[in-house]
């Protein structure tokens, strides 16, 4: 992966892929499947763009049918993800809706189960951050509600609804973050949700292990997704990811294989309750 030049740029949240300079790499032309998820049925939240799109494409190329949830205003991105999933010869179910609403979040699971005929894999990728603030004093209750409900409440609701449908051998893979370990001051609320997701992952792994359901998480570092120009000050986009040991931001395509590894019984049948870092060298401990 080259260290692409990212000029100062900004969008309104939640952000779209098309206006990004350069466009993120989701593995569209590089990811090769190895039948690691053949016959599986997956729900990917936030599957329209960024890491979620890369995961949906990778899951499909590994043989899984995929349902993706996304905000209605992200339909353009969702349609593009669906095109790549279907190009892989797999079914793609589109489920628009705001997961900050409990009934919507639970309904997305029910719709995925109905459309796919069941559920074996859950990738909780949907997330939100807002780094356009100067200090803790600028944090509002409205901001806090959006971050907490998107990152944490929705994950609880979706997972709670999904678990009764997951048979033995299923897997849940949550999306944590380097922010759980090295929190930025401007992302105090976001970082708190990611630390909570780590805790939830370990707790669920202990509870669901006897039922043959594995629960793990991936902790990405700075990854080039629409969330960055939509929530970061423009000047920070230019240096995004330069503070990692590898000296650059990662691409969504570099995160998706970690989700595949944790989801597959071929590669991770004895892996549960762990958080796998994909951080460009930043430590996750």
CATH code: domain of residue 58: 3.40.50.720
Mind telling me the catalytic residues?
190
175-190 pLDDT, tens digit each: 999 999 999 988 999 9
Residue 248 is assigned to a structural domain of this protein: yes
Residue 271 is assigned to a structural domain of this protein: yes
More confident site: 186 or 246: 246
pLDDT over threshold 70, residue 132: no
Three-state SS at 71? coil
21-71 pLDDT, tens digit each: 999 999 999 999 999 999 999 999 999 999 999 999 999 999 999 999 999
Mean pLDDT on 146-168: 98
Give the structural domain span for 189: 41-278
> 281 vs 55, 195, 211, CA distance in Å?
21, 19, 34
- The total of other beta-carbon atoms located within 10 Å of residue 246's CB is 15
Residue 1 is assigned to a structural domain of this protein: no
In 11-100, which residue ranges form alpha helices assigned H by DSSP? 50-61, 75-87
Residue 13 is assigned to a structural domain of this protein: no
């Amino acid at each position: 992966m080259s260290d692409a030049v990212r000029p100062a740029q900004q969008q309104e949240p939640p952000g779209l892929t098309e206006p990004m300079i350069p466009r993120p790499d989701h593995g569209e032309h590089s990811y090769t499947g190895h039948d690691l998820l053949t016959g599986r049925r997956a729900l990917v939240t936030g599957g329209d763009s960024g890491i979620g799109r890369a995961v949906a494409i990778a899951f499909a190329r590994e043989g899984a049918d995929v349902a993706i949830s996304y905000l209605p205003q992200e339909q353009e991105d969702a349609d593009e993800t669906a095109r790549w999933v279907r190009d892989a010869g797999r079914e793609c179910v589109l489920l628009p809706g705001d997961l900050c609403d409990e009934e919507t979040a639970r309904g997305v699971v029910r719709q995925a189960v109905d459309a796919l005929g069941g559920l074996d894999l859950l990738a909780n990728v949907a997330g939100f951050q807002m780094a356009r603030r100067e200090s803790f004093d600028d944090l509002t209750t409205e901001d806090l509600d959006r971050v907490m409900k998107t990152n944490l409440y929705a994950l609880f609701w979706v997972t709670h609804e999904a678990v009764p449908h997951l048979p033995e051998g299923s897997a849940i893979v949550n999306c944590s973050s380097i922010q759980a370990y090295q929190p930025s001051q401007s992302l105090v609320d976001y970082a708190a949700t990611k630390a909570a997701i780590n805790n939830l992952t370990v707790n669920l792994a202990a509870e669901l292990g006897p039922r043959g359901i594995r629960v793990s998480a991936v902790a990405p570092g700075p990854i080039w997704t629409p969330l960055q120009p939509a929530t970061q000050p423009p000047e920070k986009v230019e240096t995004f990811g330069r503070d990692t040991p590898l000296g650059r931001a990662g691409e969504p395509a570099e995160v998706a294989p970690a989700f595949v590894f944790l989801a597959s019984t071929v590669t991770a049948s004895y892996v549960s309750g762990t958080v796998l870092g994909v951080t460009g060298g930043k430590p996750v401990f």
